[in-house]
C-alpha cells in the first residue's frame, strides 16, 4: 500500500504533461495527497519495530530480484520529511514564473516519487534503481532552469554523483554474489551475508563513496557549493532539504549493517573526514559573500556532524542523526526560501549590497530569525536536540573528536549571525529601503516551517519514539555481525 507514495506523484507527473494548463494545481494536489497519506501511515504506525505497509513482489525470479518495500521508523521519519517539504517547495516556487511549467512541476513530482522509493526500498537493486532515478529529474531541473554556467556545473554534479553510485552498485553486486542459493538482493539476505574484514573494508568504501558524494562529506564536496548556487531555488531546496538525506539514510540502512566490522577501522577514518569537513566548511562559510553560498557551505558543515554522529554507531548518534536530518531539512529549506524571497525582490544575493531589511520587512525578519536560530541550534529549537545528541555520540567516540566537532557551536553562530546582520540589520540603502514585506503565501510558508522549529525543540520525544526500536534493532544487527 505504501507504494502509493511513489505511484501518485508518478501518475500525476504523467497527467501533467497531458493537462499542461493545470500544472501547478495538479502538482500541489498530488503532493498534498502524498502528505495526507504519510500522515495516515504515521497514525497507523506501530513503533515496536519492523517494516509495515509493505509488500514483497517477485520481480525477476531467476536473478532473485524482488519488488520489496516497506516502512519502518527510520523510513517513516524520512517520508515525513520528504512529503512535508515537497508541497512547501512547490508552493514556494510560485513566486517566480518558470518556462515550461508542466515539465518543471512534473520533474519535481518525479523527484518526490523517486525519493519516496529510495527510502522505502528493501531490495538492494530496487534501492539502486530509485537512487539513480532521483538523479535525472534534479539534473534536468538544475540544468534547464539554472543560472550562469549551469551546463558545466550540473554536468560535473551529474558525473560525479553517478560515478560514486557506480561504486555502490559494484559493492551491492559483490554482496549479492555472496548470498547463498539463488542469489538475492533482498535486504535480509544481504544482511545475513558474512564477509571477511578485508571484504567489508572494500564494501564500506564502495558505499561510502556514493553516500559521501551525495551528502556531501569532505573532501567529496566540491560539486556542491556551485550546484546549490547555480540551481533554481526549488532545485536547491530539493537537493539540500531532501536529496542529501538519501546519502545519510544509505549509511544507516545499507553501509553500516553490511560492513559493520569496517566501522572499527575504516569507519574511524570516515568519521574524522566528516569532522574535518565540519570545521573546513564552517571556516569557508564565514568568508562568503553570496547568501546561497554561505548556506551551501553551512550545509556541508552540518551534514558532516550528522555523518560523524551516525557512524559512531551509538544510540545517541543515530537518534540524533535521524532528528537532525529532519531539522536540517526544515531549516535549510527555510533559509533558501528566505534567500529566494530576497532575491525575487532585489535581484541580488550579494550581502555587501544588502542591509536594513528588518525595517521595511519586519515579518520577514522575525520568521528569518526563528529559522536562523533553529539553524544555530539554540536550545528549545529543533536544531539543538539533534546537535546535542550527535555531539554526545561523537563524545563517546572520543573527547577530542567532540571538542573539534563542537566548534560548529561557535562557527555556526559566527556565519549565521553574520548573514542575518548583513541582510536584516544596519541602515537600509537605496535598494533595500522599499523591500516589500512577505505576502500571505510567503508568510504562511515560513510560518509553517517555524512550527516544527519551535515545537520539536520544546518536545522532541514523539519524533524520537518513532524510530527508537528500529534503531535499537539495527544497532543489534551491527553489534551481532561484529
Partner 1 sequence: MGKSLVGMVGSGVVLGSFILSVMAWMQVKESGAFEANAFTWLEVGSLHIEFGFLVDELSSLMMLIVTGIGFLIHVYSVGYMHDDVGFHKFFAYLNLFIFSMLLLVMGSNYLILFFGWEGVGLCSYLLIGFWYKNKEFGKAARKAFIMNRIGDLGLLIGMFMLFNEFGSLNYKDVLGAGLSSSYAITCICILFFIGAMGKSAQIPLYTWLPDAMAGPTPVSALIHAATMVTAGIYLVARSGVLYTASPDAMQLVMYVGLATATFAATIGLKQNDIKKVLAYSTVSQLGFMFVALGVGAYTTAMFHVTTHAFFKALLFLGSGSVIHAMGGEQDIRKMGGLKKYLPITHLTFLIGTLAIAGIPPLAGFFSKDEILTNTYYGGGSFVFIMLCITSVLTAIYMLRLYFLTFRGSFRGTREQEHHLHESPLSMTLPLIVLAILSVVGGFLGVPEWMEHKLGLHHTLNGWLGNVVHNAAHPAVTEMFEYTLLAVSIAILFILALAVRTFYISRKTLPEPDEEEIGIVKLLSHKYYIDELYDAIFVRPIQSLGTFLHDYIEKPVIDGLVNGFGRLSKSSGKLIRLLQTGNTEFYLLGMVLGIIVIFVLNFIM
- Indicate the residue among 379 and 436 with the shorter CB distance to partner 1: 379
Q: How far is the CB of 120 from partner 1 (least distance, A)?
A: 25
Q: How far is the CB of 412 from partner 1 (least distance, A)?
A: 9
Integer Cα distance of 95 and 104 in angstroms: 14
At 428, is the secondary structure helix, strand, or coil?
coil
Give yes or no for a contact between 56 and 68, defined as CB atoms under 8 angstroms apart: yes
| Cβ neighbour number for residue 372 with a 10 Å cutoff | 24
Q: How far is the CB of 278 from partner 1 (least distance, A)?
A: 13
Integer Cα distance of 242 and 333 in angstroms: 9
In DSSP notation, 299-365 reads: HHHHHHHHHHHHHTT-HHHHHHHHHHHHHHHHHHHHHHHHHHHHHHHHS--BGGG---TTTT-HHHH
Q: How far is the CB of 174 from partner 1 (least distance, A)?
A: 15
- Indicate the residue among 4 and 283 with the shorter CB distance to partner 1: 283
- Indicate the residue among 133 and 285 with the shorter CB distance to partner 1: 285
Give yes or no for a contact between 269 and 353, defined as CB atoms under 8 angstroms apart: no
Integer Cα distance of 71 and 85 in angstroms: 19
Q: How far is the CB of 117 from partner 1 (least distance, A)?
A: 28
Q: How far is the CB of 32 from partner 1 (least distance, A)?
A: 32
At 68, is the secondary structure helix, strand, or coil?
strand
Positive or negative, the CA dihedral 460, 461, 462, 464 is positive
Integer Cα distance of 134 and 12 in angstroms: 16
- Indicate the residue among 126 and 402 with the shorter CB distance to partner 1: 402
Q: How far is the CB of 70 from partner 1 (least distance, A)?
A: 24
Which cell numbers hold the place of 233?
531555488
Which residues bind to partner 1, rule: CB under 8 A?
A: 156, 159-160, 219, 221-223, 280, 283-288, 314-316, 319-320, 356, 358-359, 373, 378-380, 384-385, 388-389, 391-392, 395-396, 399, 402-403, 406-407, 409-410, 413-414, 417-418, 421, 424-427, 459-461, 464, 468
Task: Respond yes or no on whether the N-terminal peptide bond of residue 219 is cis (omega within 30° of 0).
Answer: yes
Q: How far is the CB of 410 from partner 1 (least distance, A)?
A: 5
Amino acid at each position: 500500500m505504501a507504494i502509493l507514495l511513489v505511484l501518485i506523484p508518478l501518475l500525476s507527473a504523467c497527467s501533467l504533461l497531458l493537462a499542461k494548463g493545470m500544472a501547478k494545481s495538479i502538482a500541489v494536489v498530488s503532493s498534498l495527497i502524498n502528505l495526507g497519506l504519510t500522515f495516515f501511515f504515521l497514525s497507523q504506525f506501530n513503533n515496536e519495530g519492523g517494516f509495515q505497509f509493505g509488500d514483497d513482489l517477485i520481480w525477476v525470479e531467476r536473478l532473485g530480484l524482488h519488488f520489496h518495500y516497506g516502512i519502518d521508523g527510520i523510513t517513516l521519519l524520512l517520508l515525513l520529511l520528504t512529503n512535508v517539504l515537497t508541497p512547501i517547495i512547490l508552493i514556494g516556487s510560485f513566486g517566480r514564473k518558470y518556462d515550461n511549467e508542466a515539465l518543471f512541476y512534473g520533474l519535481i513530482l518525479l523527484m518526490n516519487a523517486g525519493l519516496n522509493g529510495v527510502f522505502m526500498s528493501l531490495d538492494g537493486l530496487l534501492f539502486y534503481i530509485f537512487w539513480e532515478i532521483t538523479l535525472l529529474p534534479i539534473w534536468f531541473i538544475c540544468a534547464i532552469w539554472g543560472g550562469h554556467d549551469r551546463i558545466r556545473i550540473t554536468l560535473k554534479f551529474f558525473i560525479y554523483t553517478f560515478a560514486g553510485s557506480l561504486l555502490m552498485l559494484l559493492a551491492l553486486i559483490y554482496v549479492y554474489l555472496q548470498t547463498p542459493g539463488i542469489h538475492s538482493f533482498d535486504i535480509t539476505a544481504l544482511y545475513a551475508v558474512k564477509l571477511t574484514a578485508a571484504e567489508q573494508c572494500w564494501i564500506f568504501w564502495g558505499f561510502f563513496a556514493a553516500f559521501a558524494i551525495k551528502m556531501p562529506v569532505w573532501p567529496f564536496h566540491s560539486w556542491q557549493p556551485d550546484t546549490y548556487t547555480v540551481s533554481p531555488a526549488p532545485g536547491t531546496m530539493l537537493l539540500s532539504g531532501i536529496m542529501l538525506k538519501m546519502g545519510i539514510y544509505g549509511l544507516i540502512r545499507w553501509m553500516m549493517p553490511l560492513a559493520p566490522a569496517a566501522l572499527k577501522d575504516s569507519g574511524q577514518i570516515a568519521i574524522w573526514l566528516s569532522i574535518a569537513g565540519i570545521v573546513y566548511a564552517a571556516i569557508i562559510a564565514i568568508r562568503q559573500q553570496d547568501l546561497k553560498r554561505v548556506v551551501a557551505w553551512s550545509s556541508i558543515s552540518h551534514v558532516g556532524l550528522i555523518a560523524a554522529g551516525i557512524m559512531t554507531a551509538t544510540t545517541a548518534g543515530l537518534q540524533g542523526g535521524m532528528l537532525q536530518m529532519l531539522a536540517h531539512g526544515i531549516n535549510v529549506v527555510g533559509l533558501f526560501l528566505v534567500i529566494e524571497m530576497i532575491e525575487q525582490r532585489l535581484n541580488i544575493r550579494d550581502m555587501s549590497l544588502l542591509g536594513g531589511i528588518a525595517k521595511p520587512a519586519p515579518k520577514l525578519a522575525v520568521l528569518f530569525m526563528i529559522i536562523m536560530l533553529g539553524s544555530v541550534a539554540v536550545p528549545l529549537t529543533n536544531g539543538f536536540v539533534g546537535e546535542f545528541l550527535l555531539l554526545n555520540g561523537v563524545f563517546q567516540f572520543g573527547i577530542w573528536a567532540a571538542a573539534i566537532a563542537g566548534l560548529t557551536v561557535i562557527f555556526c553562530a559566527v556565519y549565521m549571525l553574520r548573514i542575518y546582520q548583513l541582510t536584516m540589520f544596519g541602515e537600509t540603502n537605496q535598494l533595500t529601503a522599499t523591500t516589500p514585506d512577505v505576502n500571505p503565501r510567503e508568510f504562511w510558508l515560513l510560518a509553517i516551517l517555524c512550527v516544527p522549529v519551535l515545537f520539536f525543540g520544546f518536545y522532541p520525544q514523539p519524533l524520537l519514539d518513532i524510530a527508537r526500536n528500529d534503531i535499537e534493532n539495527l544497532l543489534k544487527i551491527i553489534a551481532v555481525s561484529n
